[in-house]
Amino acid sequence: MPGTVRHRLTTKLALTLMLIAGSLSTALAQEKIRVGKAVPEAFSFVPLDVGMAQGFFKKRGLDVESIAFAGDAKMQQAAAAGSIEFMLGSGPGLGFIAKGSPVKGVAAMAGPPLLLAIVVRPDGPKTVADLKGKKIGVSTAGSLTYFLVSETSQRQGWGPNGIDIKPMGAMSGQLAAIKRGDLDGSIMDIGNAFNLEKLGEGRIVARFTDMKDFIIHVIFATDKLIAEKPAVVKSFLEGWFETIAFMRKNKAATVKIAMEITQKDEDITARSYDELMPMFSDTGRFETKALGVLAKSLVELKILPTEPDMTKLVNETYLPK
């Protein structure tokens, strides 16, 4: 074999081996992390899927696995068992930490509870003022949905029990109860609310757009991860907030991904985008007033007997500067 040809083949082989080695190195460098969602279909948690699709986590060396749960409680149990490293949950979920859950809130993910609305039957109460004594379904006692319906009652001057709150579990069961007439309405995510209105099967009577000092969603990380791999916490949060910035500038791409997650059509998903993007935080900072409202809610929901020191439940160390 002529020397020139042999040299070319040797060079080509060396380059191929270098590329293979580089690929293997990249694969080995990817840190596997498991991220829990409190529920599978809410628009609130779509940023995780957008960030994965756009490679914002991968470029930071993170191989993300998304795992959906049936509520905050089951997700917190998974974190305690070491089955997940991060959680996307509710603000009142901070109460689990005060009760011993081995996690910390590492970012205030979203503020005002724009995600939720009280929906009634088409022939049901006309306004919020007509909800007194009406049966309104919520997911569980002590949940965020329970708190918001109770808060609605108190704001009307009826006390915490002016509305007959009915813990009913999954949304499918609540919708069936509404159709049977066992419930006057339910509190649900805005995508489902828009869908019911579109089908002529429901009507929105209450939103929570005026609750500015609130934290509806929090990103949690396990104490173990924070102690052993703080750089992973920092990288994940950097990827998350790059995702939020991308979503604000790219509605069409976001809606396309969100449609697959929420199982809603383009019209409803686009409306949800417009309604909900303002609630997402660009910094992840825990505002003092909002933490105070959460502390109050934990007592009202009977999750805790007294208001906790909220600063001990959160850790802002790893937020992007």
On whether both 108 and 74 belong to a single domain, the answer is yes
Q: Which of 206, 222, 237 is the last residue of a domain?
A: 206
Q: Which of 206, 239, 271 is the last residue of a domain?
A: 206
In a domain? residue 44:
yes
On whether both 103 and 219 belong to a single domain, the answer is yes
Burial class for 66, CB neighbours closer than 10 Å (0-12, 13-18, 19+)? middle
Q: Which residue has the higher pLDDT, 29 or 317?
A: 317
Q: Specify the range with the lowest mean pLDDT, choosing from 16-25, 141-150, 151-160.
A: 16-25
Domains in the chain, number: 2
What is this structure's pTM?
Answer: 0.84
* CB count in 10 Å sphere of residue 143: 21
In this prediction, residue 56 carries a pLDDT of 98
- Tokens representing 138 are 């919520």
Nearest-angstrom CA–CA distance, 8 and 198:
66
Q: Which of 206, 234, 266 is the last residue of a domain?
A: 206
On whether both 217 and 304 belong to a single domain, the answer is yes
How do residues 231-258 score in pLDDT, each as one tens digit?
999 999 999 999 999 999 999 999 999 9
**pLDDT tier, 133 (very low <50, low <70, confident <90, very high otherwise):** very high
On whether both 231 and 180 belong to a single domain, the answer is no
On whether both 304 and 219 belong to a single domain, the answer is yes
User: Angle 288-300/144-155 helices, nearest 10 degrees?
Assistant: 90
On whether both 189 and 246 belong to a single domain, the answer is no
On whether both 237 and 272 belong to a single domain, the answer is yes
pLDDT at 15 over 70: no
